[in-house]
Structure 1
Amino acid sequence: MAMQEERDMPFTMPSVTNKSAGGPRHVGLELEFAGMDIRDAARAVADVFGGEVREVDTFICTVEGTTHGNFSVELDSSLLRSKGYLKILHEIGIDLSDANEKRIERILLDVADELIPYEVVAPPVPMTELAPMDDLRELLRRRKAKGTRASILYAFSMQFNVEPPDLTAPTLAGFLKAFLLCYPWLREASGLDMTRILSPFIDKFPSDYVKLVVDPAYQPCDEAALIDDYLDHNPTRNRPLDCMPIFAHLDRDRVMARANEKHLIKPRPAFHYRLPNCLIDEPAWRIAREWDLWVAVDDLSRDADTLAAMGEDFLNTPGFPLDLFTDSWKEKIPRWLDRS
């Protein structure tokens, strides 16, 4: 489905779009929303990317054979998707017939619609081919998808799973340094909604970890040291840049031995950027704009001289670490990034 008229904001690209070993870097996308029937959302995916819609059950649809592989549209609750409620009912002596199970599922779906988002999960696509994602956003908006600000109960997000050029410790540490240094600016530029600020899902990184990583002297000797430092301070997925997937991809046993929420960690060679709202029902909102903010982090991660100078400046900013995100530092970031 062509919707070129809606692409009024192109997707900017980082300076490196290929992996060090060759081939394009990929990006996965996750959109959380309410207000639509799961089958209608799946059909919107198929309208943009092709493929066939398959209803797995009440809570999951897939769109198979698209131009990029398989998409899924699912209720974002592991208890419902895994039918964990059946186990709970069985343990209290209730076993349901197929008809009654469907009836219970419909009731749960009606209740969940006010609290739990649906989620479109896109397969990894080459980052140079992200433009149709805004076509999907617009089509979902036209079909009445509701975003973060549609209810005080919604803490919906839009998430990128970004593949780095390689998985070496210097490259990954560079991304962490860049993100931590840019975080106050990213948070303001994204217009983070209060429901998401108050939720636990994107808790800020602890000050002592920020101090450790942004120091120009921080150069972990290998991936194991980088992972151990991260887990010492962040044994949780609940960070705006969740590194559990990429670290579990590198060393699953090391991560699973120490991480919280083990059952929710999905190893993959990508950073899980969870900060943006999903303002899918607002006509002016664009995925391309949120991506552009990430690109600033992506490019900064490879600029060792600027990272070192910014780190030194940050550590000398008045108020650190007790008042980590002071206006004085936040106002400096666009100048460092040449985005004034």
Structure 2
Amino acid sequence: MPKSSFNIPPSTTNPSGEERTVGYEFEFTGVEMPEAGGIIQSLYGGKLREISTYEYAVEESRFGTFKLELDAQLFREKKYEKVLKSVGVDLASFKNIDSIEDALKDLASSVVPFEIITPPMPLSDMDELNLLVDRLREMKAKGTGSSFIYAFGMHINPEAPELSAGSILNHLRAYVLLDPWIRKDAAINMSRKITPYINSFEEDYIDHILQPDYQPGMDQLIRDYIGFGNSRNRALDLLPLFMHIDDILTSSLIEETLTRSRPTYHYRLPNCSLEDPEWSIASEWNRWVFVETMAADKKMLDRYSRARLRLKRESMVRFEHKWLQLMTRWAHEIH
């Protein structure tokens, strides 16, 4: 199968019976936002608009609005103005504030990536994004592997096929079972491994959710997820989905300020290796499809959940290695 081919998940429709959508977030540097916006405009149409020095948008494309941002809240929301004022520097007194903001942007972009946030794309149109990756690569965009300090990632936001507690729990269980294999197969970059942005779930939480008698309602599922210390910095972040389902409860339990409500899983793990001609977004998406495949097979999911609990209980040493081998065999059989 060509590396650019996107696998079809078990469920292709959302709770309303419409075709599911998927949003992507690309982190990179080396191509300025106006240039990247021009690429998007040339591929998908629309109008390029400058919102600020640190934020652009391509509006009214044939897929909706693409956003382009410097991936730092400090700059997008101009919080640096308050910081500078605290040390006696008032930017309002400068005549050429645009040149100052440009200098700040240039300084930040050496370590803080630009980000393209796509609109929700129908499953059947995801291959259109290969064109964007190819053009960014032609423009010498720098991705995860371009520098040891680039902890750049690509986030995938698949619309949830169901919004029930049972379905979400099945996806969560499938993910924690497959996480070791996904990390190895995706060759997650060392610069990303040492950051806190894609932490694995803790063992006590994994043990809790894999118990056969754990069948929570939505309220309990949300409370347990947050109560076990799961923040937005998990490789699979469920906070946006929980905000969509019950924003009052979720907001009351977290202190996060960057969590956006949306009816999607927020899969944060993949590299964004635009510099590598062998890398493709389809390969990253296809690893997520393994998660959905296991989640959709209740008997298989139950069997491997029990197997992990048993293997951990019976293994004095090398539990992680043994579990990785088992999940690798399963993935090869499914493939």
Give the alignment's TM-score, normalised by structure 1.
0.93
The alpha carbon displacement at 1:210 in A equals 0.6
Name the amino acid aligned to 2:89: I
Question: Aligned residue for 1:10?
Answer: 5
**CA 1:209/1:324 → structure 2, altered by over 3 Å: closer, same or farther?**
farther
Per-residue CA deviations over 1:182-212 (Å, capped at 9, x if unaligned) read 0001111110010000001011111000111
The alpha carbon displacement at 1:320 in A equals 7.7
Mapped pair 1:28 → 2:18: no
RMSD: 1.8
Paired with 2:221 and 2:253, the residues of 1 have a C-alpha distance of 14
Ranges of 4+ aligned residues in structure 1 off by more than 6 Å: 319-325
The alpha carbon displacement at 1:94 in A equals 2.7
**CA 1:40/1:263 → structure 2, altered by over 3 Å: closer, same or farther?**
same
Residue 28 of structure 1: SS of its match in structure 2?
strand
The alpha carbon displacement at 1:96 in A equals 2.2
The alpha carbon displacement at 1:109 in A equals 1.2
Contact 2:312 / 2:319 at 8 angstroms: preserved in 1? no
Residue 18 of structure 1: SS of its match in structure 2?
coil
Contact 1:235 / 1:258 at 8 angstroms: preserved in 2? no
Comparing 141-150 with 246-255, which one deviates more in the overlay?
246-255
Paired with 2:323 and 2:39, the residues of 1 have a C-alpha distance of 42
Mapped pair 1:284 → 2:302: no
Mapped pair 1:159 → 2:158: no
Contact 1:148 / 1:156 at 8 angstroms: preserved in 2? yes
The alpha carbon displacement at 1:181 in A equals 0.6
Name the amino acid aligned to 1:334: T
Question: Aligned residue for 2:251?
Answer: 256
The alpha carbon displacement at 1:129 in A equals 1.2
Question: Aligned residue for 2:260?
Answer: 266
Q: Which runs of 5+ in 1 are unaligned?
A: 1-6
Question: Aligned residue for 1:179?
Answer: 175
Per-residue CA deviations over 1:16-43 (Å, capped at 9, x if unaligned) read 1112431011111000001111111111
The alpha carbon displacement at 1:11 in A equals 0.8
The alpha carbon displacement at 1:235 in A equals 4.0
Name the amino acid aligned to 1:164: A
The alpha carbon displacement at 1:263 in A equals 1.2
Q: Which runs of 5+ in 2 are unaligned?
A: none
**CA 1:136/1:319 → structure 2, altered by over 3 Å: closer, same or farther?**
farther
Paired with 2:100 and 2:314, the residues of 1 have a C-alpha distance of 52
Paired with 1:191 and 1:8, the residues of 2 have a C-alpha distance of 16
Question: Aligned residue for 1:96?
Answer: 91
Paired with 1:321 and 1:271, the residues of 2 have a C-alpha distance of 32
Question: Aligned residue for 2:310?
Answer: 316
Per-residue CA deviations over 1:119-172 (Å, capped at 9, x if unaligned) read 000011112210011111111010111001111111000110111111110110
Mapped pair 1:204 → 2:175: no
Contact 2:149 / 2:191 at 8 angstroms: preserved in 1? yes
Name the amino acid aligned to 1:48: L
The alpha carbon displacement at 1:88 in A equals 2.1
Name the amino acid aligned to 2:271: N
Question: Aligned residue for 2:287?
Answer: 293
**CA 1:144/1:96 → structure 2, altered by over 3 Å: closer, same or farther?**
same
Paired with 1:141 and 1:193, the residues of 2 have a C-alpha distance of 19
Identity of aligned residues (%): 36
Paired with 1:204 and 1:322, the residues of 2 have a C-alpha distance of 21
Question: Aligned residue for 1:239?
Answer: 234
Paired with 1:117 and 1:132, the residues of 2 have a C-alpha distance of 23
Give the alignment's TM-score, normalised by structure 2.
0.94
